[in-house]
Structure 1
Amino acid sequence: MENERIIHRTYWLGTDKSGRDMLSRLLLGTRISLGIGLVAVLISLTLGMLIGAVAGYVGGWVDSVLMGLMTVVWSIPGIMLVIAISLALDSKGVWTSFVAVGLTMWVDVARVVRGQMLSLREKTFVEAGRVLGLPQSRLIARHLLPNMTGPLIVIATSNFAAAILLEAGLSFLGLGVQPPAPSWGLMVNEGFQLLGTEAGLWLTLLPGLAISLLVLSFNLLGNGLRDAYDPKTPLS
Structure 2
Amino acid sequence: MSYKSNSLKHLALQRFKKNFWGVLSFVFVILVGIVAVFAYAFAPDSSQHANQMHLAIHSKKPGFKINILTIPSGLKNDQNAIEKLFFGTQSTDTEIPISDFRLLKDKLVYTEYASDGLKGVEKEISLDVFPNHSVKPFITEKTFLFGTDKYGRDLLSRVLVGARISFFIGFVAVFISLVLGVFMGSVAGYFGGKVDAIIMWIINVTWSIPTLLLVIAITLALGKGFWQVFIAVGLTMWVEVARVVRGQVISVKEQQYVTAARALGFNDLRIITKHILPNIMAPVIVISAANFASAILIESGLSFLGIGAQPPMASWGAMIKDHYNYIILGKPYLALIPGLCIMSLVMAFMLIGNALRDALDVKN
Match of 2:196 in 1: 63
Matches for 1:1-236 after TM superposition, within 5 Å: 2=102, 4=136, 6-89=139-222, 91-199=223-331, 201-228=332-359, 230=360, 232-234=362-364
Equivalences, count: 231
Moved over 3 A (4+): 3-6
Map Cα deviations across residues 65-105 of structure 1 (whole Å, 9 max, x no partner).
1000000000001111111111211x111100000000000
Q: Is the 8 A contact 1:150 1:227 kept in 2?
A: no
1:231 CA drift (Å): 6.7
**Cα distance between partner residues in 2 of 1:232 and 1:123:** 17
The structure that is helix-richer by fraction is 1
Map Cα deviations across residues 129-179 of structure 1 (whole Å, 9 max, x no partner).
111111111111011111112101111011110000000000000011111
Unaligned runs of 5+ in 1: none
Among all aligned residue pairs of Structure 1 and Structure 2, give the percentage whose two residues are the same amino acid.
54
C-alpha RMSD over aligned residues: 1.4
TM-score by structure 1 length? 0.94
Unaligned runs of 5+ in 2: 1-100, 104-135
AA matched with 1:2: R
Q: Is the 8 A contact 1:79 1:166 kept in 2?
A: yes
Q: Is the 8 A contact 2:181 2:238 kept in 1?
A: yes
Map Cα deviations across residues 165-197 of structure 1 (whole Å, 9 max, x no partner).
000000000011111111000001111133322
Q: Is the 8 A contact 2:327 2:333 kept in 1?
A: no
The structure that is strand-richer by fraction is 2
TM-score by structure 2 length? 0.62
Matched residue SS, 2:328: coil
Matched residue SS, 2:230: helix
